[in-house]
Amino acid sequence: MKADLDSQYMLQFKNGNQDGFRILFTKYTKKIVNFCYRFCGDREMAEELAQEVFLRVYKAASRYEPDARFSTWLFRIATNVCLNETRKFQYRVVKETMDNHVQTDSGTIKQEIEDPKSQHPQELMEKRGNDILLEKALKSLPEKQRTALLLKVYHNFSYKEIGKQLKHSESAIKSMIHRARQTLMKIAGNENRSPRIEKTM
């Protein structure tokens, strides 16, 4: 398999070039912190989990082989770290923090952080209310459904890549995500079609 550019950076690091790791760390830190935050709901803990993820990447360099995209391998580590930590400490699951641009099946949704001063108080209240609804909706999903949905919606992973992460077949992952979306649709219907929930479908 021909290595993608990020995999080449990792191979450079494996061969002793520290710049390879620095490039990858800079590129993926925010994404990994946000991914961890959706699991634990605590910014400080998310940053600690992200540090653990990159520590494992660092330690695994000598064993690294580019049998998949680097991002697939990286998020597999992040998924394992998050699942282990949430099971161990039973942290509150998923407080929604969208990346500036979130990739979905239907395209790119722009989710830029807005200046609160630019928003009307009523708009701020509605936005916070929708955030809470989305948090509760995602929190209600079984662990693997939630993980599969986050990887698909927020990081545009293929069903095959998610299957490798969670050790399930592609068909099982499709079914898992379908059930997760059905659950969110039901919740959105009960909550007067919350727009923030609908964007995850």
Domain spans of the chain? 1-92, 102-201
Q: Which residues of 87-111 are buried (b: 16+ CB within 10 A; e: fewer)?
A: eeeebebbbbbbeeebeeeeeeeeb
pLDDT tens digits, 62-74: 999 988 889 999 9
| C-alpha span between 162 and 149 (Å, rounded) | 9
Assess whether pLDDT exceeds 60 at residue 198.
no
CATH number for 102-201: choose from 3.90.550.10, 3.40.50.10260, 3.40.50.300, 1.10.10.10.
1.10.10.10
Q: How far apart are the C-alpha atoms of 41 and 60, rounded to whole Å?
A: 27
Mean pLDDT on 104-132: 45
Quote the tokens at residue 72: 């697939």
**pLDDT score at 100:** 42
Backbone φ and ψ for 41, nearest 5 degrees, come out as 70, 15
**Nearest CA to 33 among 87, 97, 76, 91?**
97
Whether the model pTM is above 0.85: no
CATH tag for 1-92 (out of 1.10.1740.10, 2.20.25.160, 1.10.10.10, 3.90.226.10) = 1.10.1740.10
* CA distance linking residue 93 with residue 61, whole number of Å: 30
Confidence category of residue 199, pLDDT binned at 50, 70, 90: low
Spatial contact of 75 and 165, defined as CB atoms under 8 Å apart: yes
Q: What is the pLDDT of residues 145-154, one digit of tens each?
A: 888 888 888 7
